Structure 1
Amino acid sequence: MIERKPIDATAVAIMVVLCAIWGAQQVPIKLVAAAMSPILQMGLRSGLAALATLCVIFWRGDAHAINRHTVLPGLAIGALFGTEFVMAGEALRFTSASHVTIYLYTAPIGAALGLGLLRRDERLQPAQWLGIALAFGGVVLAFSGGGDGAHYPQMRLGDALALAGACGWACTSMVLRNSAMANAPASVALFFQLSGAFVLCTMLAPVLGETRVTVTTPLIASLAFQVIVVAFASYLCWYSLLRRYSASRLGVLTFMTPMFGVASGVVLLGDRLDAAFIGGALLILAGILIVSSAGLLPALAARLFRRLRPAALNS
């Protein structure tokens, strides 16, 4: 078993970069939406990244992990992950990148709730129930706002689609944790996820009438960023960190992602945020942080007490 190291400055620096990439990934999709629909962009990037991941699988000798034990749960996480991408792609047609990022990142709340109900070892602590309540209240508050004037009825549809995408992401996490995929190499899980997203997005794009493509330099640059940096390199880097550091402590650091997402949407796309959405987003972020870090707080408090106690005895 690989021994996980405590979080150090290197891990924090890498996580800041990863969270910035994940938070801003909706921006290039939205910027070139007129040249290629978001759902088609997500399908194409997933397919190309899946091919790159397959090369990594054979290079690492992980192909044996694709077997009769992992195929069914792999297809399930592919379908669920693909559903998340379809919903996120359609959400970007109707609402802002900032809204999509915040609502998508309610997924850890749903995953924690689902795992807490299904697994005894994942039962939620009182603080985590508080975090879930805060996040739920944040969603209600954010939906109650006036939004961007006359566009808000349409934005509410996009917000709802983003929340549906978060449900798909949460279910993906639950299947990963409760199936043979839990012991499979990360590259195999990523391959199934990306393949599922490719199939669903490219199949539904013609059904939804989202097949228009106008080849432009910004579109090529955006797709290159999405395929190489977002869908391939960033996730492999994340899985590499998971092999070296505590997953729970890394998970807390992903709290930065929606913050980067909102900031990039406002700065690069000029997203307008009403007071209700800002207040709701803060409640959602607080809920995510509480749910993700509840198990760490007692350990951190105990460590701090052990450090302070000798000083208090010597004074």
Structure 2
Amino acid sequence: MKNFTYENSQLSSSDIDELIQRFDKSNVVQALILMGSYARNEAGPHSDIDLVRFVIAGTKLSDDGTHLLKKKVLITICTVEPIDYEKWFTDPYEATKWIAGLRIARVLIDRENFFTDRLQRRAHNFVWDATMQLHANIEASRRMVGWCEETNKGLEGLRRNYDIGRLLNACHGLSWGLSEVIQIHRGILISSDNNFFNEIESALADNKRMIELRRITFGVIGSYTLRQRVIAGLHFFVLLAKQMSNVWQVTDVEIIEHTVQHINLNAPNLVSENILFE
């Protein structure tokens, strides 16, 4: 069997044989695939091995989770059955998480070409069509409402003069949470967790202000304080709400608009806080 190599990191034939021996159950396992950095030939000395195991419906295996290969490399294995992987092709969020990875996955076990002929081919042929976009708009709207609570935590954390717990919760929602709203709405098929930030940013190429506010909220530029990052995130929420106003569902509009007004009335000014300069 072929070795999977990148720089100083390598899965040898014996490594692959061990993975197959440890995680195969021939009576229920239809396929075992390698995903992540090893599948993309990007693995480094600290990369883990990402495995997905496909089993027949109703199968319950107890060894999902994290393991060690030869006491030196972490393995994470996830077992899925039809009820799980069918969602990858019908649920907008699941599609954005899985489709790109399936396209480049490498096979370790593939009984009767179950993976390559069915799921991987399906992934290659996947199209983000009008029906998927309709479902994506509904899901993005629902999630935007869910993150409204974090904006209130941010505003209250600021009012209490540096309530760290509230500010940290707000910062998470206003960075990762809002990024997932964009991911779902725009149908961004994320190639890996490590590329998540840049691939979402590429989708915002038409709005430099949003890119800058998002970078500040994530804390990847400058030396901004937690307070400043939350303030940037609140203003990012307002811009995103405006940009996606035609997407919000009727049942969600009132909550989102109320949240925007609440931020506009109570969030500190970006310029006065030395976050952005006119």
The structure richer in helix per residue is 1
| TM-score normalised according to structure 2 size | 0.30
| TM-score normalised according to structure 1 size | 0.27
- Which structure is larger by alpha-carbon Rg, 1 or 2? 2
